[in-house]
Structure formats: C-alpha cells, structure tokens
Structure 1
C-alpha cells in the first residue's frame, strides 16, 4: 500500500481524538456497530487467532447490569453512553484455528497449555480492542475506554454460559460531550521512551 491518510484523517483517529466521559443523547445504530466490527476484525492477530469476544451493551437493561459491575466513578460513563462494549477474550480460541488459520495445524501449538493460551488471548484481544477504537473513530464516533470495573463479576454476569470467556476491559462508544473532558494530558516526545538503535 502506498496511499497515506490525510492530516484530517489522522487528527480524527489520533491527534484530536479524546477519551470521553460523557455523551450526547444520540443513538449509535446497529448498523454502525456492525460496521465497527467489520473493520476491527481485519486487524492482525497472531495466527489470525481472533480471540476477542465482544458484548455490545446497548439496551438500558444491559447497561444497568454492566453498571453494577463498575466503579462508582464509571457508572454514568456506562449508563449514559449509547453503547458500552465489554472486550473479552476466549481462552479456548485455539479450537477455531483450523478454520481461522488453515495453513497449518496451529491448534496443536496451544493444546494442553491453558496459561499460554490465556497470555496469547489477552495480548491479541487487547489489540482487537485497540482496532475497535480506531474503527469507531474512523466512522465518526468517540470512545471512552475504562478499566475501573470488577472483571470477575462482569465475566460471571455476561459470560456465564461461556466459561472459557473472560472480560478484560470496557469501552463506551457514542458522540462525546466535550464539556465532560479536561485538557489533554501530556504526551512524551520520542526520545523520552524510545530507542532507535
């Protein structure tokens, strides 16, 4: 690929994008949710593992259930958002590798190694959550990622019928209310945390 995104596109996705705490009362449609997923699934994961498991809490009932699992500071961020996504992972993702990665017997790489699968699933599902945020921003939506929640309670509440799934973090999606955010926190220059050797 030789094409580059415009400065306006990069501003939308990265430079001007913010993590929102409050939301305008404007719906995120089912079509927009599907469009986000259709983009995020194209992002690379190791051996195309696709371990991310997503619960899109859009109904008032589902958001109330999720709000019971988050810290007090995050309750409104869940309840007032048009949609709040639980980003989870499947520790048995390897069962799907025969069709997701048919080039070789990748399933055998992970059989009998639950801890290794958990590590790989977490790493790759976090990547997929980042792709989710980039996809949402690319489609004109704002994001509010969160980690202030009870992961075990959320797993029990939303993945009870799928015991191999684990909740990892949350992300509200909608049209952000700029009055609910403070000035952007500092971002380090390249030399602060990088080595080019």
Structure 2
C-alpha cells in the first residue's frame, strides 16, 4: 500500500471539521452515488455490509424527520442540503451467500440469533458510517454526523417495516467555514492508549 500524502491526511483528518452551517449549494445525486461507491469498499466482518442509507434532499422529507430531532439539531438539519439517515439491515445475513460466497455456512451462523444479528449489524453499520464520513470528505463535501434524535420516531417515519433500524444521522453539504467553532481538545495517546 502507498502512504497518502499530507494533503490527503489534512482533507480526511487533521483539517477536516464537523459543520453545522451550510452554504446554499446543492449536492447532486451523482455526488451521492460517488460517495456510496467510495464508501462501499471499506471492510466489514464477513463482508456483511449492513448499512442502508436514505438521502433526504427534499424539504418534505426533512420535515418528516424534524419531529424526531432534538431541538438543538433542528435548524442545522433543516438547512443542510442533504441529510443522510444511516441505518442497519437486520436481515443482512440473507445476503451472505452472495457477499461471503466462499463460506457456504455463513448465513446459518446468524439464523435465529437475534442478539448476534443486531450487535453485528449495529457494529458494522457504525464502521461503515466512519467510511461514509471519510468518503464525503474525500469528495470535497463536509459532514455533520449526529446522534441527537429519537431512533424510534425515525424508524417509524422511514423504516416502518422494522427490518432496518436507524443508527445515526449525517448532514452533508458544503460547510460555511466562517461559522465553525474553535476545534475542541482531543485526548493524547498516553491518556487513552496502552501498548501491552
């Protein structure tokens, strides 16, 4: 593998910021397709890929989401060009014969095991959510991920059959850098890491 250059590191990590204020600039469906295409190469356990994404672009779709948001998240979400609802498919294992084809028994490992299904789907959709944010940044978009919402209300509004469950939301667009808060502190290595 090639080590990426410092410009790429800055784009993805050190200079990237979470945005709350958005420029009035559309995000095309083509850009959203590029984002998904980049993201979908990231690894998941058994290549299970449980993430399911709804991209809310219309004001009507965002208004359906609004009652589920905590008050502090409503304005920035309504003004975001796109709101991604990232969920996880609790029947992801049905696709393992295709996605993990070299292991013919993969599907049977999950059948009837609700806790294992849910923990695997939630964990791996969260991992994919991280790739999602990095893919957005790589394509010149800004991301505003958040968990300040009522999952049950989002599921009722957007995933009523119960198969898909919401994980987190991510506002997408072109952020207004002049409205950024100062960068908050991060833990240093020795505060949170050990080498054993």
Aligned to 2:28: 29
- The one-character-per-residue Cα deviations of 1:31-90 (angstroms, maximum 9, x if unpaired) are 000000001111000000000010100111111111221011111121111101001001
Distance 2:4 2:61 in 1: 37
Structure 1 unmatched runs, 5+: none
Superposed counterparts of 1:9-158, under 5 Å: 9-104=8-103, 105-158=105-158
Aligned to 2:162: 163
4+ residue stretches of structure 1 with deviation over 3 A?
Answer: none
Q: Is the 8 A contact 1:66 1:78 kept in 2?
A: no
Distance 1:59 1:97 in 2: 34
Paired residue secondary structure (1:24):
coil
Distance 1:77 1:106 in 2: 42
Distance 2:186 2:111 in 1: 41
Q: Is the 8 A contact 1:19 1:143 kept in 2?
A: yes
TM-superposed deviation, 1:187: 1.1
Paired residue secondary structure (1:68):
helix
CA-based RMSD: 0.9
- Using the size of structure 1 for normalisation, the TM-score is 0.97
Distance 1:72 1:79 in 2: 11
Distance 1:22 1:95 in 2: 40
Q: Is the 8 A contact 1:20 1:143 kept in 2?
A: yes
Aligned to 1:190: 189
Distance 2:51 2:186 in 1: 28
